[in-house]
Structure 1
């Protein structure tokens, strides 16, 4: 149950974060498969936005589990450029990567 709630919350956050101009986009492709301990989905819209993700429940130790996820999304911004993000999320946090994102200096 916890897994489904986390998935639904992340999906709702992604949709709610879309700028108003994206709300008129038409869904071209939408696929999803949500199971008890795993999920995956793909979404593509007419405005050039697409996203995909997959995840599964991971037993971290004897008492704790985490939903380990990975995915990507891309969109065309107001400046006309296409921005792409690849990301992972696990028991250590959210880790996005993209050519336009700043990178922390090495320690």
Structure 2
């Protein structure tokens, strides 16, 4: 899972605006520290403003026969072609999957008041009796 997340971050960073192919983008800062217990911390920053960091820790999987899993949390940012800085924070684990947060991500429209009223009413009803199938 750690490799997938790392590849996702690299793919997103690679999709950021690039200088012409004849120019090399320098890496200004790069750190990686992996511990014997499987936890890690990495970060990097490039000359063209791409920044990323991530922390991963090992934990027992949530399934009954799951192995240990990596819980990752991190962030990255880059500048879009229109000059807007795109920033994304995320958490990834085996229970909730990949959960990104960023101002540029779309959000669902609000629930219409009549639908919300019906949902609130349904939430107050007692549970149905068990079926006899």
Settle same-fold status: TM greater than 0.5: yes
Report the counterpart of residue 95 of structure 1 in structure 2: 99
Long gaps (5+) in structure 2: 112-133
TM-score, length-normalised on structure 1? 0.80
TM-score, length-normalised on structure 2? 0.66
**Displacement after TM superposition at 1:16 (Å):** 3.7
Deviation digits for residues 6-64 of structure 1 (CA, Å, limit 9, x no counterpart): 33343234324413716732100000112242011010000011000001111035532
| 1:18-97 equivalence runs, <5 A | 18-19=14-15, 21=18, 24-35=24-35, 36-61=37-62, 63-64=65-66, 65-91=68-94, 92-97=96-101
> Across the two proteins, how many residue pairs are aligned to each other?
102
The alignment partner of 2:6 has SS state of helix
Please say if residues 40 and 57 of structure 2, whose CA atoms lie closer than 8 Å, have aligned partners that are also in contact.
yes
RMSD of aligned Cα (Å): 2.3
Long gaps (5+) in structure 1: 1-5
Ranges of 4+ aligned residues in structure 1 off by more than 6 Å: none
More strand as a share of residues: 1
Report the counterpart of residue 125 of structure 2 in structure 1: none
